[in-house]
Amino acid sequence: MRATSPPDEEMAESPTAKRKREEKDGENGTAASQGESAAGSFPLAEMSVRKVLRESARDKTIFLHGQVNSASGDGTDAVVILEKTPFQEDSIAELLKKHTQLQLQMSNDIYSTYHLYLPPELNGIKTTVVYPATEKHLQKYLRREVYLIQETGEDYKNITLPFIQSQSFSIQWVYNILEKKAEADRIVYENPDPADGFVLIPDLKWNQKQLDDLYLIAICHCRGIKSLRDLTAEHLPLLRNISQEGKEAIVKRFGIAGTRLRVYLHYQPSYYHLHVHFTALSYDAPGCSVERAHLLSDVISNLELDSWYYEKRPLAFALRADEPLLKKFQEAGRV
């Protein structure tokens, strides 16, 4: 699964979350990626909407279950995600002046509201397509109830870890980045040390056209560190490098100081190879909520106090009703 998932207002398995890399033989079934048949050739006008899977007024995002009819009359399922794109400062003047229509909706003293109708070239909608989509894709994007889990150290050993080990979560795409087999041109910074080094790369949710929603990921070179639960004082040099060098690289490349960044880890993570999120503090990034995000500075301080802090400490995280791990906690009488 790819860390940079489509926007997901609840879990960001995603936002991700957030675009996850669709796996050929993984939990998500089979789908065409944006760079393959879905890009530029998806017959959007021929698609009929079967169901709204989920929508978010806050994120200005809607997830659709569509169906495209073939020549034989059979329908092929698709998931289409429509997302309003953020404003870009350098296009504001053009946006306000170029054939723009303003329609009054309400006026009261000094206050008024309008509908602003833009020309097509200034009114783009980011569109993510999963096509053909399997039943697993449809279920993945369907809105579900969410439950908060309080996982103890024993729960991790007896429930979560065996579940992780039983699954075929492919992270080959992570190794491709670390080995420069893919996305090498997107790397912003690298510390090549095999134990304490990492690569810093923009998250795919960030289009790199404005800094208000800056989002980068630091992926450690060391393999075998699955999540927060595996961290001990032994990993402090790695974590300090990520914190210090990551901030230095961002201020050098993008001019954003460390005091304007939110630097954190997810638990549960969207994939099981240690990575750290760097987002603009002004950006309400998917997955930065208190039940999932752990500030890197806090993680470092806790490990300085107790090497086994994250092995012992209860950790909270949210699970959707359809997730297999929730069923394992229910079977164990922990939910």
pLDDT in tens, 180-193: 999 999 999 999 99
- Please say if 275 is a catalytic residue: yes
Considering the domain boundaries, does residue 278 fall inside one?
yes
Residues of the chain where predicted confidence (pLDDT) is lower than 50: 1-39
First to last CA, the chain: 26
DSSP lists the bridge partners of residue 279 as 215, 262
Q: What local confidence, expressed as pLDDT, does residue 126 receive?
A: 87
Please give the pLDDT value at position 99: 62
Query: How far apart are alpha carbons 333 and 285 in whole angstroms?
Result: 33
**Catalytic option among 235, 266, 275, 277:** 275
The structural domain count of the chain equals 2
68 and 49 in a common domain: yes
Q: Which residues, other chains included, contact 231 with Cβ-Cβ below 8 Å and sequence gap of 6+?
A: 225, 239, 274, 299, 303, 310
Residues 251 and 309 in one domain: yes
Residues 130 and 218 in one domain: no
What pLDDT, on the 0 to 100 scale, is given for residue 176? 96
71, 104, 134 - which closes a domain:
134
Residue 121 confidence (pLDDT): 74
| Alpha-carbon torsion angle 281, 285, 287, 293, nearest 10 | -10
Q: Which domain holds residue 321?
A: 144-331
- The pLDDT value recorded for residue 91 is 76
- Provide the 10 A C-beta neighbour count for residue 266: 24
What's the CATH code of the domain at 204? 3.30.428.10
